[in-house]
Chains A and B, each alone.
Chain A
Amino acid sequence: MENKIIDISNEIIGSPDGRSDNNEQANGGNADPNYWRSFRELYNDPEFNKLKEREFAEGALERPDVSRMSGLSRRKFLALLSASAAVAASGCSNFREKGFLVPYNKKPEEITIGVPTYYASTCTGCSSACGILIKTIEGRPIKVDGNPDHPVSKGKTCSVAQASVMNLYDPERLKNPVERPDKLTSNEIQWPAADEKIISQLKSAASSGKEIAVIAQTITSPTARKALDDLAKAYPTVKVYSFEQYDESTKRNAYEKSYGTRNLPVVRLDKAKVILALESDFLGSEPGKIENAMMYVKNRDAFGGEFNRLYAVEGNATITGMNADYRIILRTDAIEEFVYALMIELIEREKVPTADPNLLNRLQKAGMSSFISKYNIKKETIEHLVSDLKKNKGASYVMAGSALPESTHIAVNLLNDALGNTALHAEDDTRVTVMPHSTKQEIDALISSMKSGKVGVAVHYDSNPVFLLPKDMNYADALKSVPLVVSLSEMENETTSASNIVLPVNSMFESWGDHQTRSGFMSLQQPVIAPLYNTRQKEAVILTWAAGNKDAFNTELYHKYLQDSWKAGVLASQNTDMLFKSAWNAGLNDGVVKVTAGTTAASLSSASPSSATNITTATGFKSDAFVNSTNVMTPSGNYVLMLTPNPNLGDGRYANNGWLQELPKPLSRVVWDNYAAISVQTAKALGAENGDMVKITAPNGNLQLPAFIQPGMAEGVIAVQLGYGREVCGIVGKEVGFDTGALISKNYKLSPWLYNDSVSIEKTGEKHDLVSTVEHYNIEDPLLKDIQFRRGIIQEGTYLQYKEDPEFIKKKHENRNLESINEQYVHTGTKWGMVIDLNKCIGCGECVVACNVENNIPIVGKDQVKKNREMQWIRIDRYYAGTPEEPKTSFQPMLCQHCDFAPCENVCPVAATTHSADGINGMAYNRCVGTRYCSNNCPYKVRRFNYYNFRDHFRDAVQESESFSLMANPEVTVRSRGVMEKCTFCLQRIMEERSHAIRENRQVIGSNVKTACQEACVTDAIAFGDQNAKDSELHRLMNSGIGYGVLEEIKVKPNIIYLAKLRNVYETENTEAHH
């Protein structure tokens, strides 16, 4: 103890020398990892240190620029003020007037004013079609969460679904059909007129034998497909295409060659003891991430069974890799070589049986030892991996990223097969595709027939091919030769602007539907609000055309069609009206209906069942696939370009959703932009810094975008996120980021998202403002910089340590228990508390979006985030330890800790922030005068100040539009300019439980309250409840041996306990830093 104190004071006194010492250690790869968050911090950039001494960033507190202020003199201003006051006063009629109370004329029976109603539905945000539960209040959808009854999403959803209410109320949605005769001038028309024009063109196209092309993105609805088939029946020249910018096509192709079916299996990751992720971000951005993350953390519960072990081999840096126990940094195009070497190693050393001598011949290329020396990989890690895979045959799984080429996937399939890992494929469940994506050749053929004038009508069925198809396909050009281009869309996009007729369609909250992604069940979608604008359901539009009569439309058209299709299909056994109705309503109530595998999708669709809808179970690996696989991925060139999916904005569809734009990326914490992520070594070679514009040249085109130095990436790998750079979009998303479309080519060698031939990168000399939240809110005092490792903000250990001593974290800080000068208030009743399990937290950020929606948190925009003015109440702190080349990452959600001795409370001059008897640090907005003393005094930097009325300030006050006011949660005050705000532990939900308790004449039960972040957390890392309930789960977690409070030693007594991250590694040395 004494030693420590002397040690600290020495460091303070001998400041400059002491610091450089420690940094040399950090740079020299000393075993002690330093925790650092950015290079500027690691290298002790003097400018950064100066910044850290400030409470707020540059520009946050400066006085406004006089020259940019209004020229109105004070005298004139006062004159105007009094004149307007006089005018206002003369307009006063009755000061006692309090407005009106307008009840329903006939109140719907399910509505109780002020009490939310929940509806089960399906999210159509992406092709996963997750089950959702929509919270509506007085008929307005205000929040989306997962449907607990849904077999796949099990009560969880991703950020896209969470934020989707903003898409519904987006003021820039298309409100009326628009006609653009010459594709330039546009005028609003009525639906019947539009339908009539289109129908006559469809008829003439069909009779003259010209193709009618319907271009869709992924279709998950069997009945929608049936409607499209009906259209094809009415007009024989109809052809339906579907595509996606980023999909699993290479994986599916490989699976088809390996097993004879394109239906990918459901992998039971919860049964895997060892997982090897090869360039696979299965936790963060790949399709199925929600389900995978849920299964992955099943074996990451310190109080449950044995931990699984995650190995990651990747060139990019993803949250999957950063969560891995062992991470091997490897160029993406060397992964196939790695798989081969691994197989040889397994066969030779571990005698994993391989029957086929052809396979062996094919494999005889290089062994692991030469591979290890070639890529400079730690030998021990490979040893562990090989022995783990061998030990856990049939209980391990190799996950390969969707961007990898077909040949790699085939090799991985072989590896999984050889290890017996196909045992993890769910037997009773497979993934099914209602309509397979068109092949590259089919799309190419469409474009050439467009150009040669063989296409009479092109219908964009809620798709955006102009933006999404590879630019070298020249789709936009081809469209010019199509006489009639129709787009069905919710918003204006690049494709609608190239269309003759644009038809506005219902959002997912206004639509009926059925969706099938699995063989065992279907999920239903129901409207929860009447269409806000003059929009129609897209399937109903198709049916109207199929009927060949503009008057065929009515608002119930598709609803009836859907019911009829179910009467004939899934619910055919319910053969009376009454039986059907009750089964149908039960289905709507649950949101899902169980179906018998193999029959549903095909029997629903009137077309002949395609191979993709047939359920064929995989039987044995076809070794021919591997032996004959010709295109082998081999490392070549200096650079590997990788395009990565965007888990928030999708393919760019949600660019106008500010909540998603402002959600920091898990590792870089960059908002409102995409960038070229490059490794530290590559950056050094280029001489590039963060924000330097670089020009990437790919085989097909080039793109200029800012560089971002991402620690932990492989040398030469360039990763760019898709989904940015929308040009025709609403005011929020327009020209945010850079369109990566120019880099995707239809003539790829590896995969559409991976290039290593003639890729180059060069600095252009320009600069771009990349805004990252990472250097914001420094928790540490700059004078004590080097002491941060001992402050225990992040406390970690290994699983072995935990097995030896389950209390090792608790014991470590027992000697830190100093006496407090404050007298502890005894909370006799309920005392709220939270536990965040860092073993389960993967750092994805879904909680942030859920909190934004629940608590009416505004979007502030890129310029304001730059000034530290983001308003998100919960943030995910990301810490790096070790070297920039090979960092060890820790994530930590940080929110108001509701300290027992909250330092913010003592300094508020107006008592706007006070403590309640149930342990909540409250904030009375109407009392706050905006001194910001509380924020200054908060050790965790979790308070947020409204520097503006951000709703008014951001992008022409788009958030103050009439439609957005419908989105607000009525149980939470909408804060105005000049007040401080912060996490309230979802006080509104606590008060709801209290009112339930009083109604039922019982005590408040802590576990009945779920905070928004907890509800949204995919991996259930957050627990909330009453600490004083001795028999509760929360009480047990709060007092566990691996729990700790952040900055416990300052004795503010936080009420959030973090469970230390345990890394499941063989090494026993403590991963935490010592001095």
Chain B
Amino acid sequence: MSGFAGLVARDLRLVWRRPGDVAVVLAFFVVATILFPLGIGPEANVLARIAAGVLWCAALFAALLSLDRLFAADHEDGTLDLLLLAPWPLELAALAKCCAHWIVTGLPLAALAPVLGVTFGLEPRVLWALAATLLVGTPTLSLIGGLAAALTLGARKSGALLALLALPLCVPTLIFGAGAVESLATGGDFGAHIAILAALALVALATTPWAIAAALRQAGE
């Protein structure tokens, strides 16, 4: 476990040394979200109706924005070879990378979303629900995005390709994430939506590390 913790700590420290990278992602999230109330106009009903979908989509795009450097940076400076040569499973290293990515993007996105929700005129209990869905849903985005990042490693225009690969796979999470918030207004079962989101995260957790490791080995050849 020393290696796993060491890798998470290294990636967090690297982000700490260059806080601008994360700040850009969060700023994108804020700006993209705020454009909607400005573009649609101050109709409280419409805004409250679309808020969850807009915030979820913006969070998804913001998470993708930071993903193309996830493995590319390690590939360029040769530290990926050190990961491939570590005497513990590469699957754990893949998980550690995604874990660190979630801590620096998923968590802040979930914390920011309720603040932005205010601009859509959401009521407090909906704001809390929004944060909860993002908290449960963003790990899936980091894992699936990590897989897309590993698969597009070394490809030209990897950013666009990454989005093309990851976005369709993120659709279920998006539907149930936004749907959970919606269910509060329509009287649906909020708990069931959260449970499905958690299930999606578990499926991603149980499958993507193996696929990421395989893609990284391929890239190392």
Q: Do A and B bind each other?
A: no
- Chain A residues in contact with chain B, CB under 8 A? none
